[in-house]
Amino acid sequence: MQPVASSLHAGRPLRASQLDPYEAHLLKRWREGCRNAASLHREIREMGYPGAQTVVRADIAYLRKHPEQANYDHPRKERAASASPRALRWLLARSPEDLTQEEQAKRTRLLAVSEEVQRVHALLQAFQEMVRQRQPEHLRPWMRETTQSGIPELKSFVAGIERDYDAVKAALCLPWSQGITEGKVNKLKTLKRVMYGRAGFPLLRQQLLHDG
């Protein structure tokens, strides 16, 4: 199974490139079945591209490794930004009713990348629902299912919950204003902010579960 980190970090570097103005043409030709870097380089040279063939070759090599990226119609830089870890975590964790039509379309394309990405999405959504509805009875089954997923980032998150299980469960079942658990509740309230991309799973674990 492909590590989820590979799927969530599959975007290209965000550096500006001489190739950017010709990316739409390269994607069009790729979808038409032309995968030869030399031929594509000749085509865009005739269109004014001043760069070396090695840049085109690297771009084609990337598409061979990540063919799903050819589904984007944006220039290379925009497509990379839409596939950044921050953007992807945000799309996976967001409630459907909070997404625009464009964001929903992006998430649909993202979920088509792999079954593992679909699994991450389902588990994040289930955890968010549990937090919103304060359903402590669902915590242990969710932890068990998440551990069985074999996804390292989520398994690490579950391990952190296990270390502080009683406090997390209490935060899920007590009113927000209960004194002794108020600190934990406040940390739980940061879950959406963290999952939406301002931090990764390791930081999430520290913010949510660290004692003190």
pLDDT digits (tens, 9 = 90+) for 78-135: 454 455 556 666 777 777 788 888 777 777 777 766 677 788 889 888 988 888 888 8
Per-residue pLDDT tens over the stretch 137-148: 999 999 999 999
d(CA 146, CA 156): 10
Tokens 């952190």 locate to 160
Helical residues (DSSP H) of the chain, grouped into ranges: 4-8, 23-32, 37-46, 53-65, 76-82, 85-93, 101-111, 115-133, 139-148, 152-163, 165-173, 182-188, 191-193, 201-209
Is 149 a residue whose pLDDT tops 90?
no
Is 75 a residue whose pLDDT tops 60?
no
Written as six digits, the tokens of 159 are: 């391990």
d(CA 148, CA 135): 21
- Contact between 160 and 209 under an 8 Å Cβ cutoff? The reply is yes
182 vs 145: which has the higher pLDDT? 145
pLDDT above 90 covers what percent of the chain? 15
d(CA 53, CA 41): 6
| Residue 95 main-chain phi, psi, to 5 deg | -70, 140
pLDDT class of 199 with cuts at 50, 70, 90 = very low
The top-scoring range by mean pLDDT among 108-112, 118-122, 173-177, 183-187 is: 118-122
Tokens 């299980």 locate to 165
Count Cβ atoms within 10 A of the Cβ of residue 112 and give its class: 0-12 exposed, 13-18 middle, 19 or more buried.
exposed
Rg (CA), the chain: 21
Report the 10 Å Cβ neighbour count for 108. 10
| Distance from chain centroid for Cα 154 | 13
d(CA 90, CA 110): 12
| Residue 8 main-chain phi, psi, to 5 deg | -85, -10
Mean pLDDT score across all residues of the chain: 71
d(CA 11, CA 110): 11
Is 193 a residue whose pLDDT tops 80?
no
pLDDT class of 76 with cuts at 50, 70, 90 = low
| 25: amino acid identity, one letter | H
